[in-house]
Amino acid sequence: MQVLFKLMGNKRLFVLLIGVILSVAFMGLTLGKKTQMTWPEKFVEDSVSFAQGIFYKPAGYIAGFFEDLGELKILYEENKALKKKLAQYAQDTTRLNALEVQNQNLEEALEFTDRQKLANRYTWHVAEVVAQSPDPLNNTLTINLGSKDGMAVDMAVATVDGLIGRIQKVSSLYSTVQLITDIEANQNSSRAIAATAAGKEGTFGMIENYDRETGHLIMNKIPDSDKLEVGDTIVTSGLGEVFPKGVVIGRIDSIKVGDFGITYTASIKPAANFNVWREVFVIEVPKP
Amino acid sequence: MRWMVERNLIWILLLFLFIVEGGLVPWLIPADWKVDIAPHFVLIGVMYIAIFLNRHTALVYGIFFGLLQDVVYYGHMLGPHLFSMGLIGYLAGFGVRRSYISIGSVMTTIMAGNFLYSVLIYGIYQLFKVVQLPFSWVLTHQILPGIIIQLLFALLIYIPARHFFERTVFLQQDEN
């Protein structure tokens, strides 16, 4: 060891180099890891998240209160618009009920198996956010549902507006959500989302990237034959059976020819905003 | 043994900063520019330790709280914050001459440390290809606005921090 120190000339530099090597090895080993969390990780996650929840929730209520004060003026207008919508909603509900019965009958007539019948019956769990990552290049959220509440890796997470991410790791009482703003094609830990345009059956595209500079999601691999237009609403297609079907992602902002000229690439403005949340929904797809 | 109590208080205070960083700050920063601002309050605490106590203590605190951040917000990988916070905590000890500590030199050190920290994190992510962004964009949209927030916070806690650490050092010397 002494010889090595002399060789390096400087002990401090030697220790620093060892530190660099060990850290880089550590980073490389844990890069994109998707296995279960170890118990120390779970313990740290659970206890820190608990403490963070103590601050996050009340702060959210206070912020919400001031937001509400600011919105008092537009409340009347909003109420009027909502009442109109409610009438529409009642109409839709009757139609939906009729269609559901019809659908059930058809499923029975075609002898659907139990598994097929249950495949689209998603459970929406309400989860409270307890913390947000302070690192702007690593966007994660902590929510207060864990494996004890039936959470599992890769479940979709959405707000009322649209999809915001997926569960990346689960501890006993809390889970960490990776936001879709962190989606990156050549990264192991991120998952591409199969998408389709609402109302255009059979259209296809993969959301693989997020452009931080413009704040838009990039949808690739759109076949030439799919006639997508600017303004189309993009929803999850449910292909791949990881993400549920029909969760709104956003609206097409622009379309251009893709890298190789064979497929198209669309830029999508996300429907959800990525500021700060109080509650999010976790969508559970029934297990086959 | 009073200074031992103070030492334990450092752990608690830093842990409090860490919890506030992810639990409270998202609500305090206006929604319009929230995404780009990173509160690195723990890092500032670690740099104060390096400046007012010594750099080896700061290295230990930096490594511990860096690891904590990596584990709690595990997104891409474990390690970037551990490495950067430890290193910056250690280097910050060289930024100020112990014999004469002025607010100007402390703020300069904190600014430089914050800048280096953000650049290191960005560099590590770029190295492992988990983010692909031009440096100029990250610099103008994340690092520079971030530094302003960190400096404001550092100024805010400068006087209490200085008093606290000077008392710790005084108690330590008194009892030795």
- Chain B residues within an 8 Å CB radius of A51: 19, 23
Could you report the per-residue pLDDT of B119-171, keeping only the tens digit for each? 999 999 888 888 888 899 888 888 888 898 889 999 999 999 988 888 888 87
Which residues in chain A have Cβ-Cβ distances shorter than 8 Å to B143? Answer: none
Percent of chain B whose predicted confidence (pLDDT) is above 70: 93
Q: Answer whether A140 sits within 8 Å of B79, measured CB to CB.
A: no
Residue A33: which residues within 8 A CB-CB, separation 6 or more? A189, B77
pLDDT band at A33 (very low <50, low <70, confident <90, very high): low
Number of neighbouring beta carbons within 10 Å of residue A225: 8
As a whole number of angstroms, the distance between CA A283 and CA A229 comes to 28
Say yes or no for a CB contact (<8 Å) between B75 and A186: no
Reply yes or no on whether the pLDDT at A8 is more than 60.
Answer: no
How far is residue A153's CA from residue A177's CA, in Å, rounded to a whole number? 9
Using an 8 Å CB-CB cutoff, list chain B residues near A275. Answer: 31, 34-35
Of A131, A169, A187, the CB nearest to B130: A187
How confident is the model over B145-154, as pLDDT tens digits? 889 888 999 9
**Is B1 a residue whose pLDDT tops 70?**
no
B57, B89 contact by CB (below 8 A): no
Query: Using CB atoms, which residue from B23, B81, B121 is nearest to A56?
Result: B23
In chain B, residues with a C-beta closer than 8 Å to the C-beta of A26 are 78-79, 82
- Report CB contact under 8 Å: A26, B25: no
Distance from B175 to chain A by nearest Cα, in Å?
30
- How far apart are the C-alpha atoms of A189 and B81, rounded to whole Å? 18
CA distance B69 to chain A (A): 9
Most confident of A83-97, A178-192, A233-247: A83-97
**Predicted structure pTM score:** 0.82
pLDDT of amino acid B50: 92
Which chain A residues touch B75 with a CB distance below 8 Å? 133, 135, 138-140, 168, 176, 178, 182, 189
Q: Does residue A9 have a pLDDT over 70?
A: no
What is the ipTM metric for this complex? Answer: 0.79
Write the pLDDT tens digit of every residue in A76-85. 888 888 888 8
Burial degree of B169 (CB within 10 A; 0-12, 13-18, 19+): middle
> Which residue from A26, A45, A186 is facing B72, i.e. has the nearest CB?
A45
